[in-house]
Amino acid sequence: MIDSLLDWYADHARDLPWREPETTGWGVLVSEIMLQQTPVARVEPIWREWMDRWPVPSALAAETQGEVVRAWGKLGYPRRALRLHAAAAAIAEHHGDVVPSDIDTLLGLPGIGAYTARAVAAFAYGQRCPVVDTNVRRVVARAVHGAGDAGPPSTTRDLNDTEALLPQDPATAATASAALMELGALICTARTPRCVDCPVFADCAWQHAGRPAYAGPAKPVQKFAGTDRQVRGLLLDVLRGTSEPARKSTLDLVWSDAGQRDRCLHSLLTDGLVEQTADGRFALPGEH
């Protein structure tokens, strides 16, 4: 199964810039953080800007938090920008401005969890370690277990299942990890899998089982309209758009419910995404 997957990947992998051989560990790390819960198409232009502007961790660390949040643009989940900024500072300070290759060391950095640590180890440093994201979990659920979709995550089982698929050679294993993710992104998709084009079709347990429907618990659907997330986004969007601090009265225009609006502004202050100036206005952090 892995051999046909590798053949397919060699022919069909997207030409994503962070996959170029010359990409540094820093480039890979930035891409992985940006790609968390965020589509490739939206990440690519921002990633290019960041690499031009901040080619090494210390360059990013030298910026204010506010400038980093502004440059994050509308990628979403802007706390990622703050954490990446903090990770860059730690890498510059404690790791010689080079992204660590050790998984446990990576896990100690802000914003880097089980997925991202292994993705960096594999894709930047060619290590043989299971890289489990939502794509891989879905591919494994179908191709290996014959289920219609992945059930709730189970860290140990997911890691073991994925590790069992990896070739022994580290560099090939890293490519296989990328290929599993690519298959999930392009062919073995969540909604309408393109099984007619699948390189693993002949070995797929889901096909052999007659493509049974997903039997597990329903996945919770995440609301957005009217939530604090939307209001926080609206508030932050105002501050990203101005170099001058904004008055409270300006921010009040983005949402009619005063209680919710104030709660959200307060949570942004708590998160460090917004700061209040000496004269009581509001701005992105570190820019006044």
Partner DNA sequence: CAAACGTGGGT
Partner DNA sequence: TACCCAAGTTT
What residues make contact with DNA under the rule CB under 7 A? 16, 18-19, 31-32, 35-42, 74-79, 83, 110-117, 119, 133-135, 152, 181-182, 184-185, 189-192, 219-222, 224, 227-230, 232-234, 236-237, 267
As measured in angstroms, the least distance from the Cβ of 184 to DNA is 6
Phi first, then psi: what are they for 269, rounded to 5°?
-65, -45
**Nearer CB in complex with DNA: 110/170:** 110
Assign residue 106 a region (left: φ > 0; alpha: ψ between -120 and 50; beta: otherwise). Answer: alpha
As measured in angstroms, the least distance from the Cβ of 64 to DNA is 18
Indicate the angle between helix axes 40-53 and 65-72, nearest 10 degrees: 140
**Nearer CB in complex with DNA: 20/279:** 20
Residues 6+ apart with CB under 8 A from 218: none
Say how far apart CA 27 and CA 50 lie, in whole Å.
9
**Nearer CB in complex with DNA: 152/278:** 152
**Nearer CB in complex with DNA: 140/185:** 185
As measured in angstroms, the least distance from the Cβ of 138 to DNA is 7
Q: Please return the burial class of 42, using the count of CB atoms within 10 Å of its CB with bins 0-12, 13-18 and 19+.
A: middle
In the residue annotation, 49 being an active-site residue is answered as no
Catalytic residue among 20, 22, 32, 67: 32
As measured in angstroms, the least distance from the Cβ of 101 to DNA is 16
DSSP state at residue 212: P
Which active-site residues does the annotation give?
A: 32
